[in-house]
Amino acid sequence: MIRDITIGQYYPVDSPIHRLDPRVKLAGTMLFLISLFVFSGYFGYVIATVFVGAVIKISKVPFRYIVRGLKPVLILLLFTLLFNVFLTREGTELFSWGIIHIYDQGLITAGLMAVRLVLLVLGTSLMTFTTTPNQLTDGLEKGLRGLKKIKVPVHEIAMMMSIALRFIPILIEETDKIMKAQQARGADFESGKLIQRAKALVPLLVPLVVSAFRRANDLALAMEARCYHGGDGRTKMKPLKYKGRDAVAYLILFGYLGLVIGSGFLPL
């Protein structure tokens, strides 16, 4: 169950999206996130959905694989849905029972909110599916280079991010192992009330944290042994250089943004 988490995992295929410069993808994701919150009409939803759909298609990442990544967000999704359904007091009342009142406007906002959230997760996970953490780090480092002047440790932050991503699957595997070991000795993670379940997690979390620290220590040693000493004087195996396709991608991005903003002025 815990292995199903696909957020933040690179999906190795060769596609035009995979080959884009990571800076384009980073900027694209940012623009996409912003675009999700600027549009107001239904038309904006259509454009955003079509855009994500097209990018997914081009990226060659199987749709089912991406959807699996949505599972962890399901609870959040459910909460927003329920809140919107029960707490909106606009439009015509469709149903009322005791203190529960459901309005048509509530259902609509709930539905649209859900679409927005799903698009948000799809958009961001697409970036990590198509970009290796190393590229992502390079992109961040180069894209935010200007911040170094105001003493922001850009390289260090980027390095930490990429290492965190690299260790996600390892720690997940470890969690699985510890869980099984505890279950073999009678631990119960799956039944009982919420508080009991939370308590049952303590014997899982303690060894996990301890081992994460040990790993961090080992990794630091290994990095030092391989002459790591921060970002100064480092060269790159794959230095970032903008190519023609990146310019095209930027054009498409801004076109999309223009379309979304423009759609707000439509009468729909």
Partner 1 sequence: MKKSMLRTKNLVFEYIRRDEEGNVEDILRALDDVSLEVQKGEFVAILGHNGSGKSTVAKHINALLSPTEGAVFVNDMDTKEEEHLWDIRKSAGMVFQNPDNQIIATVVEEDVAFGPENIGVPTEEIWRRVEESLSAVGMTAYRTHSPNKLSGGQKQRVAIAGIMAMRPDCIILDEPTAMLDPVGRKEVMKTVHELNKIEGVTILLITHYMDEVIDADRVIVMDDGKIVMQGTPRQIFSQVDKLKGYRLDVPQVTELAYELKKQGVPMPDGILTIEEFTAAYTTAKAKVVQGNV
List interacting residues with partner 1 (CB under 8 A): 10, 12, 132-134, 162-163, 165-166, 169-170, 215, 218-219, 221-229, 233-239
Q: Indicate the residue among 239 and 267 with the shorter CB distance to partner 1.
A: 239
CB of 173 vs partner 1, minimal distance in Å: 8
Number of helices (H), then strands (E), belonging to the chain: the values are: 11, 2
Indicate the residue among 198 and 210 with the shorter CB distance to partner 1: 210
CA angle 61, 66, 72 (to 5 degrees): 160
- Please check whether residue 203 is in contact with residue 182, taking contact to mean a CB–CB distance below 8 angstroms: yes
How far is 109 from 96, CA to CA, in rounded Å? 18
Least distance in angstroms from the C-beta of 215 to partner 1: 5
The partner residues of 97 in beta bridges, in order of sequence, read: 100
Please report how close the Cβ of residue 255 comes to partner 1 at its closest, in angstroms: 32
- Cβ atoms of 49 and 119 closer than 8 Å: yes
SS3 content of the chain, % helix, strand, coil (to 5): 70, 5, 25
- Count CB-CB contacts under 10 A for residue 3: 10
Q: Is 265 helix (H, G, I), strand (E, B) or coil?
A: coil
- What span, in angstroms and rounded, lies between the C-alpha atoms of 106 and 114? 12
- How many CB atoms lie under 10 A from the CB of residue 265? 10
Closest approach of partner 1 to the CB of residue 266, in Å: 43
| 207: amino acid identity, one letter | P
Beta carbon nearer to partner 1, 191 or 235: 235
Q: Which of 13, 185, 197, 35 is nearest to 123 (CA)?
A: 35
> Which residue, 35 or 134, has its beta carbon nearer to partner 1?
134
Residue placing its CB nearer to partner 1 in the complex, 221 or 266: 221
Distance CA 253, CA 51 (A): 10
Nearer to partner 1, 176 or 224 (CB): 224
- Give me the least distance between CB of 85 and partner 1, in Å please: 41
CB of residue 204 to partner 1, shortest distance in Å: 20
Whether the CB-CB separation of 245 and 19 falls below 8 Å is answered with yes
* Minimum gap (Å) between residue 177 Cβ and partner 1: 12
CA 151 to each of CA 122, 140, 148, 154, 229: distance values in angstroms, whole numbers, following the listed order: 33, 16, 5, 8, 17
Smallest distance from the beta carbon of 113 to partner 1, in angstroms? Answer: 34
By C-beta, is 199 or 236 nearer to partner 1?
Answer: 236
Q: Which is nearer to partner 1, 161 or 252 (CB)?
A: 161
